[in-house]
Amino acid sequence: MKLKKTPVTEEAKRFKEFRKAENLIQKDMGDVVGKDAATITRYENGDFIIPIDVVKLMHEKLDMDYTWFFTGKGKRKHIPMKSNLVKDVTTIATDQAILYNQVEGLRRELLKLHNDFYEFKIKVQNRDN
């Protein structure tokens, strides 16, 4: 009797594609996700459903993109937002320093105008007396 072959899911195909793109053998991928090479083979052949915790480990340890894995759309590798976040924070800090210096300059100028006005007022009062 011939065993019926389980159809390979798109996720299983992408799992194998990702592993190969990372230049990992099945044993190495198993080490990354805490499974043995035989289990990795079964994932890739569609014999086992790939657990979400394995997908999560691939994302966390190898930067695999969730959207790509589940839909096939987008890029295989996830581009972490933190690089943009660090850049944005640096830009904000720089802008804040620039604005602080501008406000301090305006404050000093306002204080000088205030002092000049009162000196002028005193001179006018003394002249009128």
Cβ neighbours, 10 Å, residue 64? 23
Cα separations in angstroms, 28 against 8, 24, 33, 45, 116? 22, 6, 9, 17, 77
Run means of pLDDT, 10 residues per run, the chain, 129 residues: 67 95 96 96 93 93 92 85 73 84 90 92 85
At residue 115, the pLDDT reads: 92
- The predicted structure's pLDDT at residue 80: 67
Q: Which of 68, 87, 70 is nearest to 78 (CA)?
A: 68
DSSP 5: P
Q: Is the pTM of this model over 0.75?
A: no
82 CB-near residues (< 8 Å, 6+ apart): none
| Contact in structure between 22 and 33 (CB atoms under 8 Å) | no
CA distance 46 to 8: 4
Sequence spans of domains, the chain: 10-71, 80-129
User: What is each CA distance from 120 to 109, 110, 112, 114, in whole angstroms?
Assistant: 16, 15, 12, 10
pLDDT of residue 83: 65
* CATH class of the domain whose range is 10-71: mainly alpha
